[in-house]
Every structure is written in structure tokens, then in C-alpha cells.
């Protein structure tokens, strides 16, 4: 286990950079199918977020503010002053937080199956309690229990389309089992949907060109994306056919083509 940030970087140092942020239980390597296609023209920076993969930080360093500051410090260390930004699910929530708080650092943003958070304080508190319960369970889990947790996670309705390709799903689950349960627990407490401040009110003044990518078979997040685009004229929705919540996993080629076109200014 490493005590510090870890990222995978693909592409030439002087190429336009893109920062990729993965979802819960993921890792920077989740983006390799996309990064391998983009690295001829882009510098793809794919970190393991705190508590995931090889980024295992000690102490209470999992809040949105701390993680955002850590990512900006990593960009500074890599000599990146401004770049494109892409985030999926939890990583999409973090990407929006970054883009709102530090608009000068990101010229275009792609949010995949993301949300500005929970508007209702009571609903947010209910989710925080749910995340705390899951975190406490992870901290006391055995290897067998952790395997069951991961399996059950992908039995949620929003992940049902992943079961269309059992072999790829099995490979994903095998990678998820390399995580440390205690790191995931800390991430749930610091970056879960219950811990995230609502960003809905900030969307009206948001100006960074942003593409909201959602799967046609993910009705909840399609509705959220539509509401986001209504709140901000800088946001446009792109619905991907025959995909659910994890578009870049289910259709990496289509996602990469979309991302390349948008980040180079082909779509507004």
C-alpha cells in the first residue's frame, strides 16, 4: 500500500492535457482503453483517487476540499496549468466541484453519469447515514465479506446493463477486489453523496463548456442531466445508445470519439 498520490500518465508532455477521474471503487487504470486511443494527441492524466487503488492516504484527508487541492497540486507537479477534465459518477461529482471552484484550470469538462449533489438537506443526511453504515461495514469486513460487497454493488439496478457482457464485468469486479476496504470506507465518509455539498444553486453562473454524457438505459441520471442543462446554458446533454450508468466502460470507442470531438472544440 502506498502512502501518497499515484497516477498513470499517457501521452507526450507538451500535448494538451486531460485529467480523468474515476468512480467509486475504481482506479486510474479504468480509463486505459480511452487513454490509449487519445494519447497520440493528448496527455492523459489518470490518478487513483484517495482510498482507491494505490492512493492510500493517512489521516482525515478525504474531503472534497482536500482531494480537490491534492489534484491541483498533482497537476502543478506535472506542469499542467490548464487542461480538459472528465469524470465519471463519483469522479464526475468531484469534476464539477473542481470546475466550479477553479474555473481557470479547466477549459472544457465532460461529466459522465454525474450529479451536482442532493438538494434536500434531509435526503442528504439520510444518504450520509447510509454511507456511514456502509463505511462501518467495510472497516470490519473479511475478505469473503468484501467480495460479497463488491458483487452486490454491481447488482444495483443502475449497473444491470453491465451484465450484458459478463466477461468484462468479471474482469472489472476482479480489479475492484484489489482495493483496501478501509480506504473505500474513508472515501465514502469524505466523498459520498451524503458528504457532498449541493452544487445546484451554483449552476446558473457556471460558464465552462460542459458535456453531460448519460446512457439511454440510465433514466435517473438522464433526468438529472436534463435538469442540469436547464440550470446552466454552458451544459449540453449527450445520450449514448445501449448504455447504462458506466458509458466509457460499456462503449469505450463511442465515448472516446465523443470526448475527442468535444475537447477539441467540435461540440459546444
CA 96 – CA 116 distance, rounded (Å) = 7
CA 214 – CA 240 distance, rounded (Å) = 6
Q: Tell which phi-psi region holds residue 242, choosing left (phi > 0), alpha (psi between -120 and 50) or beta.
A: left
DSSP state of 209: -
136-141's contacts with Cβ under 8 Å and 24+ in sequence apart are 136/185, 138/181, 138/182, 138/184, 138/185, 138/188, 139/181, 139/182, 139/185, 141/181
Which of the four pLDDT bands, split at 50, 70 and 90, describes residue 1? Answer: very low
Could you read off the pLDDT of 64-106 as tens digits, one per residue? Answer: 999 999 999 999 999 999 999 999 999 999 999 999 999 999 9
Could you read off the pLDDT of 205-234 as tens digits, one per residue? Answer: 999 999 999 999 999 999 999 999 999 999
Give a yes or no: residue 244 inside a domain. Answer: yes
142: pLDDT strictly greater than 70:
yes
Give a yes or no: residue 113 inside a domain. Answer: yes
Dihedrals phi, psi of 66, to nearest 5 degrees:
-65, -45
- Contact yes or no for 221/115 (Cβ under 8 A): yes
Give a yes or no: residue 1 inside a domain. Answer: no
How many structural domains comprise the chain?
1
- The CATH number of the domain holding residue 83 is 3.40.50.1820
Domain that holds residue 126: 6-263
Give a yes or no: residue 268 inside a domain. Answer: no
Give a yes or no: residue 90 inside a domain. Answer: yes
Give a yes or no: residue 242 inside a domain. Answer: yes
**Residue 142: HSE in the Cβ half-sphere, 13 Å Cα cutoff:** 2
Give a yes or no: residue 139 inside a domain. Answer: yes
Give a yes or no: residue 118 inside a domain. Answer: yes
59: pLDDT strictly greater than 70:
no
Amino acid at each position: 500500500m502506498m502512502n501518497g498520490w499515484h497516477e498513470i500518465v499517457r501521452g507526450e508532455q507538451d500535448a494538451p492535457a486531460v485529467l480523468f477521474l474515476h468512480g467509486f471503487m475504481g482506479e486510474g487504470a479504468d480509463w486505459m482503453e480511452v487513454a490509449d486511443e487519445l494519447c497520440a494527441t493528448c496527455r492523459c492524466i489518470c490518478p487513483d483517487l484517495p482510498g482507491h487503488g494505490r492512493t492510500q492516504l493517512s489521516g482525515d484527508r478525504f474531503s472534497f476540499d482536500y482531494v480537490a487541492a491534492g489534484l491541483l497540486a498533482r497537476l502543478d507537479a506535472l506542469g499542467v496549468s490548464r487542461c480538459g477534465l472528465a469524470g465519471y459518477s463519483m469522479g464526475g461529482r468531484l469534476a464539477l466541484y473542481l470546475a466550479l471552484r477553479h474555473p481557470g484550470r479547466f477549459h472544457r469538462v465532460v461529466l459522465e453519469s454525474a450529479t451536482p449533489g442532493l438538494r434536500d438537506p434531509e435526503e442528504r443526511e439520510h444518504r450520509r447515514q447510509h454511507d456511514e453504515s456502509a463505511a462501518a461495514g467495510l472497516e470490519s469486513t473479511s475478505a469473503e465479506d468484501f467480495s460479497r460487497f463488491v458483487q452486490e454493488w454491481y447488482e444495483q439496478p443502475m449497473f444491470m446493463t453491465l451484465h450484458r457482457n459478463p466477461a468484462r464485468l468479471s474482469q472489472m469486479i476482479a480489479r475492484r477486489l484489489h482495493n483496501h476496504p478501509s480506504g473505500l470506507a474513508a472515501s465514502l465518509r469524505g466523498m459520498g453523496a451524503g458528504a457532498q455539498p449541493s452544487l445546484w444553486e451554483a449552476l446558473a453562473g457556471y460558464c465552462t463548456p460542459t458535456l453531460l454524457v448519460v446512457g439511454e438505459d440510465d433514466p435517473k441520471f438522464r433526468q438529472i442531466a436534463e435538469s442540469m442543462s436547464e440550470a446552466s446554458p454552458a451544459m449540453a446533454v449527450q445520450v449514448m445508445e445501449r448504455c447504462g450508468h458506466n458509458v466509457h466502460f460499456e462503449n469505450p470507442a463511442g465515448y472516446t470519439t465523443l470526448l475527442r470531438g468535444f475537447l477539441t472544440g467540435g461540440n459546444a
